[in-house]
A and B are shown apart, each in its own frame.
Chain A
Amino acid sequence: MSNPQRLLIVGNGPVGHQFLESIVESGKAGNFDITVIGEEPRAAYDRVHLTAWFETRQAESLNMVAEGFYANNGIKAQTSEKVVSIDRAAKVATTDLGNTYPYDKLILSTGSYPFVPPVPGHDRENCFVYRTIEDLEAITAAAQNAKVGAVVGGGLLGLEAAKAIMDLGLQTHVIEFAPRLMAVQVDDGGGNLLRRKIEDLGVKVHTQKNTQNIGDGENCLHKLSFADGEELETDILVFSAGIRPQDALAHQCALEVGQRGGIVINNNCQTSDDDIYAIGECALWNQRIFGLIAPGWDMARVAADHVLGGIEGKQFNGADMSTKLKLMGVDVASIGDAHANTPGAKSYTYINEQTEVYKKIVVSEDGKHLLGSVLVGDAEDYGNLLQFALNKIELPEHPEAMILPNLDGSASVGLGVDALPDVAQICSCNNVSKGDICAAVQGGAMTVGDLKACTKAATTCGGCTALVGQVLNAELTKLGVEVNTDLCEHFPYTRQEIYHLVRVGEIKTFDELISKHGKGKGCDICKPTAASIFASCWNDYILETSHAGLQDTNDRFLANMQNNGTFSVVPRMAGGEVTPDGLIAVGSVAKKYNLYTKITGGQRVDLFGATVDQLPLIWKELIDAGFESGHAYGKSLRTVKSCVGSTWCRYGVQDSVGQAIDLENRYKGLRSPHKLKMAVSGCTRECAEAQSKDVGVIATEKGWNLYLCGNGGMKPRHADLFASDIDTATLIKYVDRFLMFYVRTADRLQRTSVWMENLEGGLDYLRKVIIDDSLGICDELEAEMQHVINSYQCEWKTTIENEEKVKQFRSFVNAEQGDKEIVFVQERGQIRPATDEEKRLNSNLIAVAS
């Protein structure tokens, strides 16, 4: 066999890595002797998500190279080594370490470097760029001793850098030479709105500023002087004034380069030397540099195919530069000819200053085709519009309908995914077409997760996720696969449908429900769901004989079961307020029954370690002392946290404690699809963390701001501002309607956060339903809530007053004793469950107090 071909890849960034992956995927890696050389101290990482480094500050989380990738495929990878010259005649590359690497085919994937304007002082201390993990590490270190940060450049990357600096806690400035932000992608209207939104976040934006000198500051490290005579002081400076193709090697070995840089390539990605390819941001195709990842990956696939002998005959034919991003939490998208440069192009613009949304579409002279678009503040239409533009789909008669809000609640003018041709590119990052997705579905993919795994669609920028889901569902429907949303094997309905069956049919028991609408005996999915719906609708006592067996673990015993089979006891302390006598009462009960005592994250006290037979005794004492159930066990209202508010706090503008107590007393006992949490803060300092709650209320000078659908937990979500400066009556009205609408329509165990994320039309739709009563159901919702409020009972009070019910709390039906296997040990002056090890060693075990 002849010697294997030597492939040398210079530059181990995302594009160089894609080249290697393409070779490996072809199954022919064994035919080559492959070496990749990178100048950075680590192998390829995900530069697109560079900013995510701040989340973990671990370089590992951005790594793109699967474990064993190099070793398993016989690839030699060098890090921290830079190629400094290429001898094309001898076909050998030399590095800064003095090593030489001969090659048969050379791939240049050297990317680009940030342009730093040659302003005097640009190389002072604490002046950075934003390109590598090392850059971010240096910025983070410098931020520790800094108060002010400034970014030179208001483009896409500049705003991303500004966000990072803001998140590091610095007062942040963005300095832009052009009259608007993101001058390349958006027009004046969009730029102005973007500026407003970003300034709302506290970032200062300076446009039309030409920096002429950087010198010593008086209050900060640097002082920037601008051409118009103004000045700005800052401790940290980040340059983000554009990128330049890294073409130094091409100059050195005399490959053809463009006038303004970039290594010239043909449709095979070959340079002026047939044995040398250039791909990614260093390459110049048709006079164009592509500063995005997707075209780079395309080039990598083309070059790999060509090196392999052109098996698939791939060609690089340019790329679409449309983008959708979230910049500082603001959705921004730009498609095609955003500036209406095409002769005869006409545009339509929609501006809503109230909700801060800007949308523009650019259509062809004859009005038939979409040429471009700019979206700021709401980029939901991006996927649809992009498909119209890319596939030249004929526009509807009134194209403006595509960006106008549909106030009458009718379906929005979009395009059914059926209208798309099979070649339509759905995921541009990973070059996945509608046909690819349909093929994968035919091959067995059933969920977006499956599709991500087998096609890579939606795994990079995520902008295509919604569209991928639509194609999936359409294809599944076509294949006759019902997208199964049945609650469980006993009910062919969703939770929402069962709710309606119960409400409309006035069904009061599980037996009636399953005999009319289900089959079998039920299970631990449908029984608690039905129990919760009965409680939301009719609010009967949940331990009623017909209901008791339906209740989930904790509801069945009105207490949270712990890992050793004991229970916890949480009395309600509305708003976190408790009297000294109340505290003493809780303390004496805990002492008497030897319970472990802890302050919860919900501003109340939890008593742990009660056995089932102790529960009624404990609750009797607590109720006598004036407490009631805290429903810590239910999928129901938990706590309404409060801050101390205007009564004591020097900043408070309203009585947040009073409001929290009123809310808690109003909604206590309401059963819902999942637990509900609320909080009220007395001013904008937000000490009650209301924005992390399902319902958050923050006092303003004029009333209250209402936030909805926030969540802590596994996947935190900040609540959305729903209404501002409303009075208490309006607040209650909105919360009543909101909660009942959620109870009606959510899936089982779906928190309001996830419900909102899945709500078609999102926050705007919710506003229409709740504020404008667009569905005409608000009277019903309020009446349903009133019924729940009127029929509230403390379940523990009802229980201890009923001898038959108290009997349900015996440890054994036939013996007057407790579970002897429940034992504790002492720790920090209180009990805790003994571990198996401790039980075995029988060391210092404490039995249950009786």
Chain B
Amino acid sequence: MSWTTVCSLDDILPNAGVAALVNDTQIALFRVDDKVYALANKDPFSNANVLSRGIVGNLQDTLVVASPIYKQHFSLEAGTCLEDDTVSVPCYAARTEGGLVQVQI
């Protein structure tokens, strides 16, 4: 699979997220200490495309984003939901190359 360039790292505020559209798929990109992570943007609990707007942080050893609607936490590295192990969101490979953010979808 090839890498798609989405935006520059500066387009994402430190320790926050943005939404992006890649091949018609809505994804959520997060920037944590200059590393980037990519999840699907759709919150499975509300079906709204909002995960990019959640607060990022960590719970124990897991980097997470909290859904802005009902506050469940999703792992940035795996997409799994910490409150309900039957639920997860798609998780994509992401990296920065020369100040640009790239993902594999």
Distance between Cα atoms of A563 and B20 in the complex (Å): 20
- What 0/1 readout, one digit per residue, does chain A (310-352) give for beta carbons within 8 Å of chain B? 0000000000000000000000000000000000000000000
Q: Which of B22, B50, B54, B57 has the largest number of chain A CB atoms within 10 A?
A: B57
Distance between Cα atoms of A550 and B55 in the complex (Å): 7
Q: Confirm or deny: B105 has a beta carbon within 8 angstroms of a beta carbon on chain A.
A: no
Q: Which residues of A contact B21 (CB under 8 A)?
A: 812, 814-815, 817
- What 0/1 readout, one digit per residue, does chain B (1-38) give for beta carbons within 8 Å of chain A? 00000110001111110111110001001001000000
Contact of A523 among B14, B66, B68 (CB under 8 A): B66
Is A523's CB under 8 angstroms from B55's CB?
yes
CB distance from B69 to the nearest CB of A (A): 7
Segment of A260-268, A497-505, A552-560 engaged in the interface with chain B: A552-560
- What 0/1 readout, one digit per residue, does chain A (787-819) give for beta carbons within 8 Å of chain B? 000000000000000000000101111110101
Contact of A553 among B7, B29, B69 (CB under 8 A): B69
Distance between Cα atoms of A605 and B58 in the complex (Å): 38
Closest to B26 in A: A819
B contact face: mostly helix, strand, loop, or mixed: strand
A521-B32, A813-B18 given as contacts; is B55 within 8 A of A527 (CB)?
Answer: yes
Chain A residues numbered 533-559 whose CB sits less than 8 Å from any CB in chain B: 545, 548-553, 556-557
Distance between Cα atoms of A551 and B54 in the complex (Å): 9
Q: Confirm or deny: B47 has a beta carbon within 8 angstroms of a beta carbon on chain A.
A: yes
Q: Confirm or deny: B49 has a beta carbon within 8 angstroms of a beta carbon on chain A.
A: yes
Distance between Cα atoms of A820 and B7 in the complex (Å): 21
Distance between Cα atoms of A556 and B13 in the complex (Å): 12
Distance between Cα atoms of A256 and B88 in the complex (Å): 74
Q: Confirm or deny: A522 has a beta carbon within 8 angstroms of a beta carbon on chain B.
A: yes
Contact of B60 among A489, A524, A553, A814 (CB under 8 A): A489
A549-B13, A553-B69, A563-B69 given as contacts; is B58 within 8 A of A528 (CB)?
Answer: no
Q: Which residues of B contact A549 (CB under 8 A)?
A: 13-16, 55-56
Distance between Cα atoms of A817 and B26 in the complex (Å): 12
Closest to A816 in B: B21
Chain A residues numbered 808-850 whose CB sits less than 8 Å from any CB in chain B: 808, 810-815, 817, 819, 821-822, 836
Distance between Cα atoms of A520 and B57 in the complex (Å): 8
CB distance from A18 to the nearest CB of B (A): 41
Chain B residues numbered 46-81 whose CB sits less than 8 Å from any CB in chain A: 46-50, 53-60, 63-64, 66, 68-69, 71, 73
Q: Confirm or deny: A561 has a beta carbon within 8 angstroms of a beta carbon on chain B.
A: yes
Q: Which residues of A contact B64 (CB under 8 A)?
A: 523
Q: Which residues of B contact A815 (CB under 8 A)?
A: 20-21
Is B57's CB under 8 angstroms from A821's CB?
no
Is B55's CB under 8 angstroms from A524's CB?
yes
**Which range holds the interface residue count of chain A?**
35 or more
- What 0/1 readout, one digit per residue, does chain A (509-524) give for beta carbons within 8 Å of chain B? 0000000000011111
Q: Confirm or deny: A80 has a beta carbon within 8 angstroms of a beta carbon on chain B.
A: no
Closest to B15 in A: A549
Q: Which residues of A contact B6 (CB under 8 A)?
A: 813-814
Is A563's CB under 8 angstroms from B57's CB?
no
Closest to B64 in A: A523
Distance between Cα atoms of A821 and B46 in the complex (Å): 13
Distance between Cα atoms of A524 and B55 in the complex (Å): 6
Is B13's CB under 8 angstroms from A548's CB?
yes
Is B47's CB under 8 angstroms from A819's CB?
no
Q: Which residues of A contact B14 (CB under 8 A)?
A: 545, 549
Distance between Cα atoms of A753 and B58 in the complex (Å): 32
A489-B60, A565-B49, A565-B50 given as contacts; is B55 within 8 A of A813 (CB)?
Answer: no
Closest to A522 in B: B57
Q: Confirm or deny: A252 has a beta carbon within 8 angstroms of a beta carbon on chain B.
A: no
**Which range holds the interface residue count of chain B?**
35 or more
Is B57's CB under 8 angstroms from A812's CB?
no
Q: Which residues of B contact A545 (CB under 8 A)?
A: 13-14
Closest to A808 in B: B13
Distance between Cα atoms of A565 and B70 in the complex (Å): 12
Q: Confirm or deny: A564 has a beta carbon within 8 angstroms of a beta carbon on chain B.
A: yes
Is A524's CB under 8 angstroms from B18's CB?
no
Q: Which residues of B contact A552 (CB under 8 A)?
A: 55, 68
Is B12's CB under 8 angstroms from A813's CB?
yes
Chain B residues numbered 73-97 whose CB sits less than 8 Å from any CB in chain A: 73
Q: Which residues of A contact B49 (CB under 8 A)?
A: 565, 819, 821-822
Q: Which residues of B contact A489 (CB under 8 A)?
A: 59-60
CB distance from B76 to the nearest CB of A (A): 11
CB distance from B66 to the nearest CB of A (A): 4
Closest to B19 in A: A812
Closest to A519 in B: B58
Q: Which of B22, B59, B73 has the largest number of chain A CB atoms within 10 A?
A: B59
Is B63's CB under 8 angstroms from A521's CB?
yes
Is B53's CB under 8 angstroms from A523's CB?
no
Q: Which residues of A contact B58 (CB under 8 A)?
A: 520-523
Is A813's CB under 8 angstroms from B29's CB?
yes
Is A814's CB under 8 angstroms from B55's CB?
no
Q: Which residues of B contact A819 (CB under 8 A)?
A: 26, 49
Is B20's CB under 8 angstroms from A813's CB?
yes
A524-B54, A553-B53, A819-B49 given as contacts; is B20 within 8 A of A812 (CB)?
Answer: yes
CB distance from A231 to the nearest CB of B (A): 64
Is B57's CB under 8 angstroms from A556's CB?
no
Q: Which residues of B contact A557 (CB under 8 A)?
A: 53
Q: Which residues of A contact B12 (CB under 8 A)?
A: 813
Is A556's CB under 8 angstroms from B20's CB?
no
Distance between Cα atoms of A682 and B11 in the complex (Å): 52
Is A527's CB under 8 angstroms from B46's CB?
no
Distance between Cα atoms of A526 and B48 in the complex (Å): 25
- What 0/1 readout, one digit per residue, does chain A (350-370) give for beta carbons within 8 Å of chain B? 000000000000000000000
Closest to A552 in B: B55
A545-B13, A565-B49, A813-B19 given as contacts; is B55 within 8 A of A528 (CB)?
Answer: yes
Closest to B58 in A: A521
Is A527's CB under 8 angstroms from B57's CB?
yes
Distance between Cα atoms of A556 and B54 in the complex (Å): 9
Is A563's CB under 8 angstroms from B13's CB?
no
Q: Which residues of B contact A563 (CB under 8 A)?
A: 46, 48, 69
Distance between Cα atoms of A193 and B32 in the complex (Å): 65
CB distance from A555 to the nearest CB of B (A): 10
Q: Which of A489, A557, A814, A836 has the largest number of chain B CB atoms within 10 A?
A: A814
Closest to B65 in A: A524
Contact of B71 among A490, A524, A812 (CB under 8 A): A524
Q: Which residues of A contact B13 (CB under 8 A)?
A: 545, 548-549, 808
Is A814's CB under 8 angstroms from B7's CB?
yes
Closest to B59 in A: A523
Is A565's CB under 8 angstroms from B48's CB?
yes
Closest to B60 in A: A489
Is A561's CB under 8 angstroms from B15's CB?
no
CB distance from B95 to the nearest CB of A (A): 16
CB distance from B6 to the nearest CB of A (A): 5
Is A811's CB under 8 angstroms from B68's CB?
no
Q: Which residues of A contact B11 (CB under 8 A)?
A: 813
Contact of B7 among A527, A813, A822, A836 (CB under 8 A): A813
Is A561's CB under 8 angstroms from B55's CB?
no
Is A556's CB under 8 angstroms from B15's CB?
no
Distance between Cα atoms of A815 and B41 in the complex (Å): 15
CB distance from A849 to the nearest CB of B (A): 18
Is A811's CB under 8 angstroms from B19's CB?
yes
Q: Which residues of B contact A565 (CB under 8 A)?
A: 46, 48-50, 69
The 7 closest A-B pairs by CB, nearest first: A565-B48, A549-B16, A553-B68, A524-B66, A523-B57, A524-B55, A813-B18
CB-defined A-B contacts under 8 Å, sample of 16: A521-B56, A523-B58, A523-B64, A524-B54, A528-B55, A545-B13, A548-B13, A550-B55, A561-B68, A564-B48, A812-B21, A813-B6, A813-B19, A814-B20, A814-B22, A836-B47
Chain A residues within CB distance 8 Å of chain B: 489-490, 520-524, 526-528, 545, 548-553, 556-557, 561, 563-565, 808, 810-815, 817, 819, 821-822, 836
**A545-B13, A813-B29, A814-B20 given; 13 more Cβ-contact pairs under 8 Å:** A489-B60, A523-B66, A524-B54, A548-B16, A557-B53, A561-B68, A565-B46, A565-B69, A813-B19, A815-B20, A819-B49, A821-B26, A822-B49
